[in-house]
A and B are shown apart, each in its own frame.
Chain A
Amino acid sequence: GAVVSQHPSRVICKSGTSVKIECRSLDFQATTMFWYRQFPKQSLMLMATSNEGSKATYEQGVEKDKFLINHASLTLSTLTVTSAHPEDSSFYICSAVLAGRYNEQFFGPGTRLTVL
C-alpha cells in the first residue's frame, strides 16, 4: 500500500515551453503533497507544499508563477514548469502524506526534466 506514481518519468523539452508533471496517490487519499527538486549529487530541496483544495505554499526562493501547482483532488497534484529554461533541468520528486500517518511521506519515483 501507499504507492505514489509520477508521470512522465522523463521529459525533454525546448526552452520556453511548459511542462506538466503529475503526481498520484494510487491507493490512498492524500490531503497534503509535497514537491521537491533534486540536482545531481545533491539532496532533496522542498519546493512547495500542496494542500487539496487550497493554494500551494512555496518555499523561499521558489517562483510561484514559474512552478504552478494544482491539487484538485485527494489523489492528484500537478506541477507545471512554465517557460522552462535549461537551469530548470532537474529531478522533480513528489511525496504524499497518508491520512493518519502524521509526518510520514511516501515518495514518487521522480521525473527527470531536461530543457534544451
Chain B
Amino acid sequence: GENVEQHPSTLSVQEGDSAVIKCTYSDSASNYFPWYKQELGKGPQLIIDIRSNVGEKKDQRIAVTLNKTAKHFSLHITETQPEDSAVYFCAVSGSARQLTFGSGTQLTVLP
C-alpha cells in the first residue's frame, strides 16, 4: 500500500518568516495531493491541493509544489502569522480515492 512520510514533525518559526513542510510517497500511480490544517479538537480543513498534472499551485500565502519524478511534494507558507499555528497533514490519493495521511507537523509561529 501507499506509504507517506512527512517532515519535520515539529517546526517553529518567527512571525513573518516562511515555513516549509515536505512529504514523500511511494506509489507512483498516486494523483491527488492535498494538505490539511487541523486545529486542536477539530476536524482537518483542506487548505490547498494539487493534482499530478500540475507542478505548482499557489493560493495567497500558501503554495504547494509537486515533483512526481522524485515522488515528493511540499507545502510553503509565507509571511506566517500566529493563527497559522496548528498541525498540518499531507495526504495522498490514487484511483482508490482513499487518502493516506502523513504523520503530521506541529507548526508554531512565534510572535
Top 5 closest A-B pairs, CB basis?
A103-B32, A107-B43, A103-B93, A110-B43, A109-B43
Given A43-B89, A44-B89, A102-B32: A109 touches B42 (CB 8 Å cut-off):
yes
Once A44-B89, A49-B98, A97-B97 are accepted as A-B contacts, the answer to whether A104 and B49 lie under 8 Å apart by CB is yes
Measured CB to CB, the nearest residue on chain A to B36 is A107
Contact with B along A31-49 (1 / 0, CB 8 A): 0101000000011111001
Chain A residues with CB under 8 A of B32: 102-104
- Please name 15 further chain A to chain B contacts, defined as beta carbons within 8 Å, in addition to the given A32-B97, A106-B46, A107-B45, sorted by A numbering: A6-B43, A34-B98, A43-B101, A43-B102, A43-B103, A46-B99, A93-B44, A95-B99, A97-B97, A103-B32, A103-B34, A103-B97, A104-B49, A105-B46, A108-B43
Report the tally of A-B residue pairs with Cβ distances under 8 A: 53
| Chain B interfacial positions (CB closer than 8 Å to A) | 31-32, 34, 36, 41-46, 49, 89, 93, 97-104
A residues within 8 Å of B by Cβ? 4, 6, 32, 34, 42-46, 49, 93, 95, 97, 102-110, 112
Decide if the interface of chain A is mainly helix, strand, loop or mixed.
strand
Chain B residues, Cβ within 8 Å of A44:
44, 89, 99, 101
Contact status of A105 and B99, CB under 8 A, knowing A43-B89, A43-B104, A44-B89? yes
